[in-house]
């Protein structure tokens, strides 16, 4: 089977390299701006500091009928528009959403009512260094699970992803895994983006108060969404601190977006928390959300 990566950003290119390293066939679905351009090999600087070149077959929207398995690694705000172009995608092709944040799945299920649709989360880190040059900055967990009935038949995708990524497990309740990741992102991403710092700097004493208040606000919202599967506030804070320590040298995707003048996934991370906060106030989350909107506005 050939994997097709939709979204040739940092993580998409890293995943292409990791799959190719295991001998998997990989195509990359390119946007119109790449049409007519030479498609080079993807250069990946791996965790050990070694550079490797990987070939991937270039495809465009009109080639959607050839896609056997689609991994969607665009930004959350790009997912729906990117998928709308794939009008000839076969009904049998599984669509796997691997973006940050939440709030897109419902639209995708409406777009592809007959396709197997799955969601995944991954905590691998990646940074873009240049055109078709990326750095793999950190390994992490990956989870995959179904978003509709047809998606439940694709647990067989897990072994290949586990071999390539170092970890991948199946979850029948992938929404719980998404909420757990969203909770971490809703603290780390806006704080690092607004302060233009790496993740590890959040453990400096100057951020202790805001980190405590924001983590409480986010936990309150996420725990109500999770119900009886929610972790306690102290458990969440321990997990948050562990992630910050493990990714101390990394820069969050939101920080990278703002630093490089790109739109961020603010609306699908902090915005998702705000949408589900009522009637409880979340003043720090609200302030960070507004600040991110302001910064994005200055750059457009």
CA distance 118 to 151: 6
pLDDT at residue 88 greater than cutoff 80? yes
CB of 219 within 8 A of CB of 240?
Answer: no
Same domain, 144 and 181: no
Separation CA 97–CA 94 (nearest Å):
10
pLDDT reported for residue 298: 60
Residues 140 and 29 in one domain: yes
> How many domains, in total, are found in the chain?
2
- pLDDT tens digits, 44-68: 999 999 999 999 999 999 999 999 9
Q: Which residue has the higher pLDDT, 209 or 300?
A: 209
Whether 146 and 26 map to the same domain: the answer is: yes
* Share of residues in the chain with pLDDT > 70 (%): 99
Residues 6+ apart with CB under 8 A from 113: none
DSSP string, 245-272: HHTTT---HHHHHHHTT---SHHHHHHH
Counting beta carbons within 10 angstroms of the beta carbon of residue 204, is it exposed (0 to 12), middle (13 to 18) or buried (19 or more)?
exposed
Is 66 one of the catalytic residues? no
Q: Contacts for 208-214 with beta carbons within 8 Å, 24 or more apart?
A: 210/284, 211/187, 213/284, 214/186, 214/187, 214/284, 214/285, 214/288
- Does position 15 have pLDDT exceeding 80, yes or no? yes
pLDDT of residue 186: 98
Distance, in Å, from the CA atom of 177 to the CA atom of 224, rounded to the nearest integer, reads 15
**Distance separating alpha carbons of residues 102 and 105, to the nearest angstrom:** 7
Domain check: are 10 and 142 in the same one?
A: yes
Two tokens, residue 115: 């396709």
Q: Stretch 243-250: mean pLDDT, rounded?
A: 92
- Looking at the chain, the whole-number percentage of residues with pLDDT higher than 90 is 87
Q: How many CB atoms lie within 10 A of CB 272?
A: 23
DSSP 54: E
pLDDT tens sequence across 204-231: 999 999 999 999 999 999 999 999 999 9
Query: For the whole prediction, is pTM greater than 0.75?
Result: yes
CA angle 97, 193, 245 (to 5 degrees): 80
Name 124's bridge partners. Answer: none
SS3 130: strand
Question: Are 189 and 116 in a shared domain?
Answer: no
Q: Give the residue from 124, 151, 171 where a domain finishes.
A: 171
Q: Which residue, 130, 154, 171, sits at the end of a domain?
A: 171
**For 95-117, what is the mean pLDDT?**
96
Whether residues 114 and 225 fall in one domain: no
* pLDDT on residue 131: 86
Q: Which of 75, 84, 152, 181 is catalytic?
A: 181
Higher pLDDT, 149 or 36: 149
Give the H or E element holding residue 83: helix 79-84
In terms of domains, do 6 and 139 share one? yes
Asked if residue 198 and residue 63 are part of one domain, the reply reads no
Q: Over the stretch 247-298, which tens digit does the pLDDT of each residue have?
A: 998 899 999 999 989 999 999 999 999 999 998 899 999 999 999 999 887 6
Residue 247 β-bridge partners = none
Is the same domain home to 141 and 180?
A: no
- Cβ pair 58, 28 in contact under 8 A: yes
CA distance 12 to 18: 10
- Would the pLDDT of 34 be above 70? yes
Q: What is the CATH number of the domain that holds 151?
A: 3.40.50.720
Which tops the pLDDT comparison, 130 or 40? 130
| Domain harbouring 231, CATH code | 1.10.1040.10
- When pLDDT is cut at 50, 70 and 90, the band that residue 35 belongs to is confident
121 and 248 together in one domain: no
Do both 77 and 6 map to the same domain?
yes
Give the pLDDT confidence of 142-186 residue by residue, as tens digits.
999 999 999 999 999 999 999 999 999 999 999 999 999 999 999
Q: Is the pLDDT assigned to residue 299 strictly greater than 60?
A: no
Of 171, 196, 220, the domain-final residue: 171
Give whole-number Cα distances, 247 to 119, 174, 252, in Å: 23, 23, 9
Provide the domain limits for residue 224: 176-299
Strands (E), the chain: 2-6, 25-29, 42-45, 51-54, 57-59, 69-72, 95-97, 117-122, 125-130, 133-138, 142-146, 169-170
Average pLDDT over residues 82-92: 97
Query: Do 233 and 290 fall within a single domain?
Result: yes
Mean pLDDT of the chain: 94
| Phi and psi, residue 27, nearest 5° | -115, 155
pLDDT over 60 at 300, yes or no = no
The pLDDT score that the predictor gives to residue 19 is 97
């Amino acid at each position: 089977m050939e994997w097709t990566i939709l979204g040739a950003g940092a993580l998409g290119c890293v995943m292409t390299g990791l799959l190719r390293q295991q001998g998997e066939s990989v195509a990359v679905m390119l946007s119109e701006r790449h049409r007519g351009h030479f498609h080079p090999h993807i250069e990946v600087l791996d965790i050990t500091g070694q550079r490797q070149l990987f070939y991937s077959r270039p495809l465009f929207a009109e080639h959607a009928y050839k896609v056997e398995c689609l991994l969607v690694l665009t930004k959350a705000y790009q997912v729906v528009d990117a998928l709308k172009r794939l009008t000839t995608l076969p009904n049998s092709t599984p669509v796997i959403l691997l973006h940050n944040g939440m709030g897109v799945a419902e639209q995708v299920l409406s777009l592809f009512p007959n396709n197997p649709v799955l969601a995944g989360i991954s905590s691998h880190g990646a940074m873009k260094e240049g055109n078709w040059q990326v750095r793999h900055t950190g390994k992490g967990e990956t989870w995959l699970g179904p978003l509709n009935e047809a998606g439940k038949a694709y647990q067989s995708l897990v072994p290949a992803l586990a071999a390539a990524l170092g970890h991948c497990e199946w979850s029948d309740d992938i929404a719980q895994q998404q909420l757990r990741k969203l909770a971490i992102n809703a603290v780390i991403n806006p704080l690092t983006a607004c302060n233009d710092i790496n993740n590890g700097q959040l453990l400096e004493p100057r951020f202790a108060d805001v980190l405590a208040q924001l983590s409480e606000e986010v936990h309150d919202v996420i725990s109500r969404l999770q119900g009886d599967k929610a972790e306690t506030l102290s458990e969440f804070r321990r997990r948050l601190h562990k992630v910050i320590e493990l990714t101390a040298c990394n820069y969050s995707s939101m920080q990278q977006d703002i630093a490089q003048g790109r739109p961020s996934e603010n609306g699908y991370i902090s915005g998702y928390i705000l949408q589900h906060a009522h009637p409880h106030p979340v003043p720090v989350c609200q302030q960070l959300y507004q600040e991110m909107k302001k910064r994005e506005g200055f750059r457009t």
